Amino acid sequence: MPAPIVFRSVWVCEVGVQAVDRSGVISDSELQQALSNGTWTPFNPVTVRSVISMFDRENKGGVNFNEFAGVWKYITDWQNIFRTYDRDNSGFIDRNELKQALTGFGYRLSDQFYSTLIEKFDRQRKGQVAFDDFIQCCIVLQRLTDVFRRYDTDQDGWIQVSYEQYLSMVFNIV
Ligand SMILES: [Ca+2]
Ligand SMILES: [Ca+2]
């Protein structure tokens, strides 16, 4: 039986309620347990951290129940995108599917770069990316692109930066 993608059914509600009962905050590990990448392996902890930090307004290391509603919607939206581009319903995004997805988002990348992306984000070494790694790939690409665009004021895809500007760029990301 294939593993479910996204939430392990209604259990996610219980996880949310229990976490709120205990501490008022849903932590990384609690969210990680509630999420499924479709392969029975633990959800990418880096993705979990990225998503929590997006919705954790007070920097408390987790989300409260209201913020959790945002997390839920965010992940569900990604689930729909993932299902749309996983054309063969394999539960993975292969190179071609990734190209169609990112092209759909407006990215213009070479075939060679798609190989680089798969190599970087394919944690399971299957030559394709699972749901959690697909989200991670898109988050990182978006962040890097946003920083680049700030410097590429004429939008021609080229920037010239000094050493310190380069360091500032990287500090924005790491
Ligand atoms: Ca697929
Ligand atoms: Ca430029």
Domains annotated for the chain, with CATH where assigned, are 25-172 (1.10.238.10)
Q: How far is the CA of 105 from the centre of ligand 2 (A)?
A: 21
Among the bound ligands, the one closest to the CA of 92: 1
Q: How far is the CA of 128 from the centre of ligand 1 (A)?
A: 8
Span 115-138, average pLDDT: 95
Span 120-148, average pLDDT: 95
- Tell me how far apart the 2 most distant CA atoms of the chain are, in Å: 53
Which residues contact residue 121 at a Cβ distance below 8 angstroms, ignoring those fewer than 6 apart?
129, 133, 134, 136, 137, 140
In this prediction, residue 168 carries a pLDDT of: 92
* Average pLDDT in the chain: 89
Q: How far is the CA of 93 from the centre of ligand 1 (A)?
A: 4
Q: How far is the CA of 81 from the centre of ligand 1 (A)?
A: 12
Among the bound ligands, the one closest to the CA of 160: 2
Span 7-35, average pLDDT: 71
In this prediction, residue 34 carries a pLDDT of: 86
In this prediction, residue 142 carries a pLDDT of: 95
In this prediction, residue 129 carries a pLDDT of: 96
Q: Which range, of 20-29, 79-88, 120-129, 138-147, averages the lowest pLDDT?
A: 20-29
In this prediction, residue 9 carries a pLDDT of: 47
At 19, list the tokens: 């976490």
Supply the pTM of this predicted model: 0.87
- Name the β-bridge partners of 129: 93
